[in-house]
Amino acid sequence: MLKKFVKSIVGILPSTLQRSIRVVFSAYNDKVARKNWERNGRPAPPPDEVKHEIIAEYQRQSKSQLLVETGTYLGNTIWALKENFVKLYSIELSPELWKNAVKRFAQYSHITILHGDSGKVLFDVVPRLQERTVFWLDGHYSWGITAQGEKNCPIFEELEAIFKNNSLLHVMLIDDARLFNGTGDYPTLEELRKFVHHKNPQYHMDVKDDIIRLTAS
């Protein structure tokens, strides 16, 4: 009842003020979600805010100015990190989600939203990257309004595209580690580890907070 009342009041305010109020509420909700997550023992998956902080931390460690994301969805990851990187690319398979993201980020010249299957589009994107890049690989099918490609999880295709042009030793972060159990086109974590080692033995694979982290020594 109170929520409906607040929404009705906010709805009659000027649009700029509405946006400011939404930002405040969003920040508050993020803090509540994080506290609950930590209180419950940090179960998988972590709140989006935690994921964004992890990506930002790897950006600082690698000093990378480029972010490439697979699986734009609503664009919240790009939005949260738009000030952290000089250039951001995001790849979305769903035509509808892609159009929405293009519209959302139209005023940001340093953000490019690409349409297509990430396992294929990356073969065009990676060779153009001129410096070490942070990859956020979240292009697997998640039911709901997300689009389903040839595979539910094109992770091998995505990694193949990156390792094919990887003299810069890019940082690769893969979301939803809990799903990598050998079913539904997902490899097991051990299969993924062997694949990465075969591609480049310099790489180490760590798993924490539901995120697979691939970094070179």
> Alpha carbon of 146 to those of 70, 71, 140, 143, 181: distances in Å?
12, 9, 9, 6, 21
> Rounded to two decimals, what is the model's pTM?
0.85
**Model pLDDT, residue 200:** 98
Give residue for tokens 């299969």.
191
Residue spans of the domains in the chain: they are 2-39, 48-216
| Residues 6+ away with beta carbon under 8 Å from 154 | 117, 118, 119, 139, 140, 185
- The CATH fold assigned to 48-216 is Rossmann fold (3.40.50)
- Asked if 89 and 98 count as a contact pair (C-beta separation under 8 A), the reply is no
134: helix, strand or coil: strand
**Model pLDDT, residue 26:** 55
DSSP H or E stretch at residue 48: helix 48-62
**Model pLDDT, residue 139:** 82
**Model pLDDT, residue 4:** 59
147: helix, strand or coil: coil
**Model pLDDT, residue 33:** 83
Rounded average pLDDT per 10-residue block, the chain, 217 residues: 57 63 57 85 91 98 98 96 98 96 98 97 97 93 51 89 97 97 94 98 98 97
